[in-house]
Structure 1
C-alpha cells in the first residue's frame, strides 16, 4: 500500500511539473491535466480513509 501511494504521489509531482511547462502554450490541456491530478489524489485519499489508515 505504501509503495502504491508513493508511486501515485511521485507521478502527480511529475505531472504537476509538466503542467507548469504546458500552461503558457496549451492552457486547456493544462487544465485537463489539473483535473486528472486532483482526481487521482482525491481517489487515493478516499481509498486511504475507507481502509481506516
Structure 2
C-alpha cells in the first residue's frame, strides 16, 4: 500500500467516524427529547388527576 492510499484510507475513516458521532448525537438528542416529553406528559396527567380528586 502506498503512502497516498494510506492517507486516503485514514481520511475516509475519520470522515466515517465523524458521521457516526454526529448521528449518535442526533439519536441521543431525540432520545432525551422523547424521555422529557414522556415525563412531562406524565406530570401533566398527575396534575389533572390531583385536580379532579380535589373537586
Higher relative contact order (CA 8 A, sep 6+): 1
Aligned residues: 30
Structure 2 gaps, min length 5: 35-55
Determine which structure has the larger helix proportion and give its number.
2
Runs (4+) of structure 1 exceeding 4 A deviation are none
Q: Describe the SS at the equivalent of 1:28.
A: helix
* Cα distance in structure 2, aligned partners of 1:30 and 1:39: 14
Structure 1 gaps, min length 5: 1-23
Q: Report the CA distance between 1:47 and its aligned residue.
A: 0.0
Q: Report the CA distance between 1:29 and its aligned residue.
A: 0.5
Matched, 1:35 2:25: no
Matched, 1:51 2:30: yes
The structure that has the greater radius of gyration is 2
TM-score, normalisation: structure 2: 0.49
TM-score, normalisation: structure 1: 0.51
Taking only aligned residues, the RMSD between alpha carbons, in angstroms, comes to 1.5
